[in-house]
């Protein structure tokens, strides 16, 4: 399958429907974004919503890259990586990540971070194959 990855710059029904299909394949506890929420994401300067399409233009995956300046550097995070079950194992996840890394570099980021639960075996293999290295740190979350 030939896959193309592009940054979403506008929100249409196709994009909303794609997230309604994709988000349950990523998270059972978070609902898919509404059209307004996708609009906010696409308008945000810091966030880059990447969308992978197959030969027919159908949306088969997505990744969000966030680039931000902090006192020590410009840094980036990758979040919400998901590929439709029907398109997995064909390099879509790799293509999304490679485009995110290119974009992060183009925006001057020095590092790109992400987290992935150990139970996500395909994801952890993919990240390490691309060149992400495990980092010794504690990951904390404060629920608001
Ligand atoms: C992780 C994920 C994005 C990878 O997407 P992908 O398009 O399958 O990625 P790739 O094809 O580039 O590589 C994935 C790896 O998993 C293997 N794989 C995953 N699903 C597969 C399937 N259904 N059939 C065959 N191989 C599969 C691939 O062969 C490849 O293995 P390798 O790294 O040993 O070569 C996708 O499995 C997914 O959406 N999972 C559910 C959500 C998730 O875990 N997201 C990551 C959050 S951190």
The residue length of the chain stands at 144
Q: What tokens appear for 76 in the block?
A: 């980036």
CA of 89 to the centre of ligand 1 (A): 5
High-pLDDT (> 90) share of the chain, %: 99
Q: Which atom of ligand 1 is nearest to the CA of 120?
A: 44
Read off the pLDDT of residues 107-121 as tens digits, 9 standing for 90 and up.
Answer: 999 999 999 999 999
What count of Cα atoms within 13 Å lies in the side-chain half-sphere of residue 133? Answer: 3
Q: What is the pLDDT of residues 38-89, one digit of tens each?
A: 999 999 999 999 999 999 999 999 999 999 999 999 999 999 999 999 999 9
CATH number, domain 4-130, options 1.10.20.10, 2.130.10.10, 3.40.630.30, 3.20.20.70: 3.40.630.30
Residue 75 CB-density burial (10 A; 0-12 exposed, 13-18 middle, 19+ buried)? middle
Per-residue pLDDT, 1? 84
């Amino acid at each position: 399958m030939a896959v193309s990855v592009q940054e979403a710059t506008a929100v249409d029904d196709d994009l909303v429907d794609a997230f309604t299909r994709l988000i349950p394949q990523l998270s059972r506890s978070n609902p898919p974004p509404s059209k307004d929420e996708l609009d906010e994401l696409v308008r945000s300067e810091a966030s880059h919503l990447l969308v992978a399409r197959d030969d027919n233009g159908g949306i088969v995956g997505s990744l969000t890259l966030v680039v931000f300046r902090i006192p020590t550097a410009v840094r980036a995070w990758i979040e919400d990586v998901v590929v439709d079950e029907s398109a997995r194992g064909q390099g879509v996840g790799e293509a999304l990540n490679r485009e995110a890394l290119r974009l992060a570099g183009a925006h001057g980021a020095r590092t790109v971070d992400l987290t992935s639960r150990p139970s996500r075996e395909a994801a952890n293999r993919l990240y390490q194959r691309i060149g992400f290295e495990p980092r010794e740190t504690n990951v904390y979350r404060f629920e608001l």
